[in-house]
Structure formats: structure tokens, C-alpha cells
Amino acid sequence: MENKYRTHKCGKLSEKEIGSEVRIAGFVENIRDHGGVIFVDIRDDSGVIQTVSNDDSIFEGITRESSISLKGKIRKRNEEDYNERIVTGTIELLVSELEVLGKAQNVLPFEVITSHEVAEEVRLKYRYLDLRNPKVKENIIFRSKVIDYLRKLMKEEDFLEIQTPILTASSPEGARDFIVPSRKYHGKFYALPQAPQQFKQLLMCSGFDKYFQIAPCFRDEDARSDRVYGEFYQLDLEMAFVEEEDVLKVGEKIFHDTFKEFGKGKKVSSVPFQRLTYKEAMEKYGTDKPDLRNPLEIIDLTEVFAETTFRPFKGVVVKGIVVDNIADKANSWFNEVVEFANSIGMPGIGYFKVLDDMSFAGPIDKFLSEDERDDLIKIGKLKPKSVIFFIADRNKAYKYAGLIRDELGRKLELINKDEFKFCIVKDMPMYEWDEEEEKYIFNHNPFSMPQGGMEALEKEKVEDILAYQFDFVCNGVEMSSGAVRNHDLEIMKKAFEIAGYEEAEIEKRFKALYEAFKYGAPPHAGMAPGIDRMLMLLLDEESIRETIAFPLTAGGTDLLMGSPLEVSEQQLRDVHIKIR
């Protein structure tokens, strides 16, 4: 039986249908009155087609964005009326019947075709209209294609797709939990999973060799341009009886193949990706998420100024960034660098220019000794017209130097926008010192295996203990974290003890893993590429929210559904909650 609304999609019609009677359905994109002849453009998810009628009254009363069904014959347009911007630009539908299926009110919140130029809050409030914009819609279609491809990749590598629970127990994995009160168990709470971490480890303990899922993750942490508030999706995977290198190879294949397939011809790093230790990344780039498209590197000058008389460099960490052939730039250009340094919290930034005779020009020069000048030339490999920037601070020199490096790369246009440059940052510190708590906390994932096992935990300084942990990074964005997991109960207890957990608390909070590790847990490892971030890079979008069908605002509100909202007193009573 023929569909009563349409026989063809708008964008699928072509000159092959000339003379045929067809029925189409879609939204009214535009209504144009050309001297008494009315043209109406109809849009569905396949494209747009122009319609016209011998009886203009057939279009009487229709409004833009109404959903309608039309019947008529396809005919060829006059050659001078061709529209090369659309695939149906040589044909049109001569309408004989029209039915309004859903009438739109006369005044729209915004023009659908230019909705991406509207304030984000308005777009998200009327997201169903925003998604009618072909470009906005294409992002969501693109997302579906990428996820399909990822599933195909994983199944080709013999991974088994398994779903893990959404209602689970609270777990300290680095962010705040969303908690869900229990109606049946007074005063107790479920939590939404920050990640399926424990469940995927339990699957390895259950004898599954390779697991994956397209996993929703929930974290009550503030949004950024590359992180949405509340929930996000990751390609979660885990493998049993493997070492770190086995997982790294799978990660390289996932990222290389996916970015080759969907990267629109941009250059993608070849396999194997460049490997950096955490220490090397921090020293060279000032961040564990380096953008390797930027060729600038940070050099350590602390020893050069160990005996300096220049007070700002005395007794602090001093970093330098050398840029060749920019000494002739205008003073205003350098003033902008100083202004940027001030904007990130630095009191200023020192620099000097290297002149043709290898002498230095700049306010710092008069404070330097001859030995310091010679060391700078040697260590910085300085040349005529080079400029060296100095970053000095007791605690934040690495961070500031990384931000200055990024800004110089941007200002000097050193970054190739047509390249996806990947690296793997590994050998992460197991712990970091928390100034507020005044204790050591887990630096990354608490379930990671320390390098050196129990011996390292017992004998090394806490700050020197490294973990089998790694990140995949692309163009300065963290794409995935991963690790070799701790599968030994005694090592796990000791690792948590250093972070301030008593055994009773470990047993209570990680009851399943605590028990499972008593029954022959295999060595296992895994990672979790962030799907939303992959899409943001592939689509070249500045905001990750452009890759999601119904995102929350940056502030964490849902303007479409009106959440978060108050609930009734009865709902609160049902879950034994009282608002204080």
C-alpha cells in the first residue's frame, strides 16, 4: 500500500522523474512571490525542491516551517531558472494537491536556515527548529555514521558489545557523582556511572577477552568548549591477558582509521604515533596535552640562572621559548604577547632580541653576566633575529610556558589546520599532592597498576611512583585515557592506602572488585576514546555541543525540557528527601 504522505524524498528526485506524478512531504523552507507566480521551497532531510502551481490559491494560508504533503508532476525548469546550489535545481514540482499536516505559527523564533548564527541559548530552547537547519542536522547524521564505523571496527577486532548498568554505586573516579535517591531503601542512593570502569574490569574477571560499548558517562563537573556538562559518550573497551602495548596498538588503529575515513582529506599521523613520557611532555610543551602541530619547544633555563643577580629569576623555575626570525616585528606585536601573559596571571613576560652581531637587545640584557649570555646562545641555539621569551615562576612555570607556547604558535600561524597530529603521552604519575586536602590523591585513574608493583609502592617516594597510564592526544585535545589495570588485591589495597583509604572503606566502596580479585583475576587493560571530542575535531567545530542532538547549555540547564526543575512534595517523600 502506497504511503499517503509521500512517494519520494525531495532531494532524491531528478530529471528521471520528469513527467511522473509524485507525492512529497516536508517543511516549507521559503515562500517567494515572483510577480504573481508563487514558488514554495519544500525541505526534508534529503534536500530541497522548488514547487509551483497553476492555481496560486492552493498555497493560500501556508506558513514557513509548516509540515505539508504535496502531489503533482515533475517538470523541467526553464534553463535560465536553474539553481546550481541544490541537486534538484533543474526540476520543479507542479502542484495539484496540497495538505497541511502541521501548521507553524506566523512568527518564528529565528530563521531556520541561519539558525547557527543565533545565540546558543535561543537555539537550544527551540532545538527542534535548530535541527531542521541542514548544517546542524548534518552534524547529527555524521555522528551516527562515525558511531556505526566504530562499532564495525571493534567487531572486526573481535570485541564483544556488552551493556553495563546505568544505576550503580558511587565511586571516586575524579569527578562528582550524580546521585539518585532510592525509594525502596530509606536513606540510600544509587549513582550514575562516571564511566563503566568497575563493570568492564569485572567482565575481564568473568572470562570475556574483549569488551566494548558506546557508553554514556555522567559527571557533575563544569562544561568547557571540549567537555559538556552532565553526560558524554565514550567508546569504552577492555582486554584481558594483555600488556600496555597491546592496548596502544588497538587505540592507534581506532584513531588512525576513523580520522582517515572521516577526516575530509586532512593529513593524519601515521602509525605508530609519537610516544612521549609525561615528564617529557611537560618539559618540552608545558602540558600533558601537547599540540604537536606547533613546532616550538620549551627549554629549561633554571640552571643558567642558578647564580643570577636578576631577582625575578632567582630561586625559581625559569623556562624559555626561542623563536627564530621574528626580531624585526613591531613593538606592538610584542606588547600583545605581554598583554596575553598578563591575562593568564603572569606579572609580565621577559624577552630579548638577538642582533646581527649576536648581542642582545632588551631590558633584561643589562642584568645578564657574560657566562649567562654564552649559555643562552648555546642552550637556545640562538641566531641573529631570534627572540627568546622567559617564563619564571616558583610553581606554575610549566603551565605558563605551555600557554605562552600555544599563543605564540597561534600568533605566528605555525599550526597547520589541515592536519590531525596524534601522540601518546604515557608513564603518568600515580599520585599528585592536593594542596587543599594536604595529602596525596590519585593523579588519574585509581584502578591503574603502578609501575614496579608492590615494590614501587613500598620503596619509592610517592611523587616518583609512575602508573601504566596513558592518554591519546590530538591537536592539543585529550582524546582518550587508558591504563593497565591493577588486578592484584594486595597491590590495590596498598595503592589506596597511600591515597588515604583504609581497607574497610575499600572493601565497602569497591565490594565487587575487592571480592573478584580473590578469584584469579587476569591481567587486563583498556581505554575509552571520547566520541564527542572525536566528532568535534572531525567536524572542525569550536564547541562540543554542536556534535550532540540535545545538549545542555554550558551552565548545565536544559532549556528545551526545562530541567533541572522542582519536583512535588510527594515525589520527595517517596524517596525520603527533605529540602534544607
Q: Residue 524's domain spans which residues?
A: 141-271+421-530
Summarize the confidence of residues 307-319 as an average pLDDT: 90
489 & 515 share domain: yes
319 & 428 share domain: no
Q: What is the pLDDT of residue 436?
A: 85
Q: What is the pLDDT of residue 366?
A: 85
Contact between 23 and 51 (Cβ < 8 Å): no
> Quick one: cell of 580?
534544607
Q: What is the pLDDT of residue 158?
A: 98
pLDDT exceeds cutoff 90 at 223:
no
pLDDT exceeds cutoff 80 at 185:
yes
Three-state secondary structure call for residue 85: coil
> Quick one: cell of 279?
615528564
Neighbours of 155 (CB within 10 A): 12
**How many domains, the chain?**
3
Question: Residue 427 and residue 429: Cα distance in Å, rounded?
Answer: 7
Q: What is the pLDDT of residue 172?
A: 59
Q: What is the pLDDT of residue 174?
A: 61
**Boundary (domain end) residue, out of 510, 530, 550:** 530
Q: What is the pLDDT of residue 38?
A: 93
385 & 470 share domain: no
Stated pTM of the model:
0.92
pLDDT exceeds cutoff 90 at 88:
yes
329 & 263 share domain: no
353 & 253 share domain: no
Instruction: Of 363-367, 446-450, 539-543, give the lowest mean pLDDT range.
Output: 363-367
User: 103 phi and psi, to 5 degrees?
Assistant: -85, 130
> Quick one: cell of 388?
627568546
- Banded pLDDT at 456 (limits 50, 70, 90): very high
Summarize the confidence of residues 409-432 as an average pLDDT: 97
pLDDT of 197-208, one tens digit each?
Answer: 999 999 999 999
- Whether 537 maps to a domain, the answer reads no
381 & 327 share domain: yes
Contact between 407 and 337 (Cβ < 8 Å): yes
402 & 330 share domain: yes
Q: What is the pLDDT of residue 293?
A: 98
- Classify the C-alpha dihedral 387-393-398-399 as positive or negative: negative
pLDDT of 226-254, one tens digit each?
Answer: 778 889 999 999 999 999 999 999 999 99
Domain CATH number, residue 223:
3.30.930.10
Question: Residue 43 and residue 70: Cα distance in Å, rounded?
Answer: 12
- Banded pLDDT at 166 (limits 50, 70, 90): very high
- Banded pLDDT at 43 (limits 50, 70, 90): very high
32 & 58 share domain: yes
Three-state secondary structure of 184-243: CCCCCEEECCCCCHHHHHHHHHCCCCEEEEEEEEEECCCCECCECCEEEEEEEEEEECCC
Summarize the confidence of residues 416-436 as an average pLDDT: 95
**Boundary (domain end) residue, out of 102, 124, 151:** 102
267 & 319 share domain: no
Q: What is the pLDDT of residue 299?
A: 97
pLDDT of 484-535, one tens digit each?
Answer: 999 999 999 999 999 999 999 889 888 999 999 999 999 999 999 999 999 9
> Quick one: cell of 518?
580473590
- Whether 575 maps to a domain, the answer reads no
- Whether 496 maps to a domain, the answer reads yes
298 & 384 share domain: yes
Q: What is the pLDDT of residue 282?
A: 96
Question: Residue 15 and residue 577: Cα distance in Å, rounded?
Answer: 65
Domain CATH number, residue 304:
3.30.1360.30
Average pLDDT, the chain: 94
Summarize the confidence of residues 146-155 as an average pLDDT: 98
**Boundary (domain end) residue, out of 102, 117, 152:** 102
Q: What is the pLDDT of residue 348?
A: 86
Q: What is the pLDDT of residue 35?
A: 77
Summarize the confidence of residues 56-75 as an average pLDDT: 95
Q: What is the pLDDT of residue 364?
A: 83
- Whether 511 maps to a domain, the answer reads yes
Summarize the confidence of residues 54-77 as an average pLDDT: 95
Contact between 9 and 46 (Cβ < 8 Å): yes
pLDDT exceeds cutoff 60 at 342:
yes
Question: Residue 369 and residue 308: Cα distance in Å, rounded?
Answer: 8
Q: What is the pLDDT of residue 388?
A: 96
Question: Residue 79 and residue 84: Cα distance in Å, rounded?
Answer: 11
- Whether 427 maps to a domain, the answer reads yes
Summarize the confidence of residues 165-194 as an average pLDDT: 88
Percent of the chain with pLDDT over 90: 85
- Whether 571 maps to a domain, the answer reads no
pLDDT exceeds cutoff 70 at 333:
yes
Summarize the confidence of residues 202-231 as an average pLDDT: 91
Instruction: Of 212-216, 275-279, 395-399, give the lowest mean pLDDT range.
Output: 395-399
- Whether 51 maps to a domain, the answer reads yes
Contact between 434 and 395 (Cβ < 8 Å): no
Summarize the confidence of residues 371-396 as an average pLDDT: 94
261 & 145 share domain: yes
- Whether 287 maps to a domain, the answer reads no
- Banded pLDDT at 167 (limits 50, 70, 90): very high
437 & 381 share domain: no
Summarize the confidence of residues 357-361 as an average pLDDT: 91
Contacts of 337 by beta carbon, 8 Å cutoff, 6+ apart: 349, 351, 389, 404, 407, 408, 411
Q: What is the pLDDT of residue 178?
A: 93
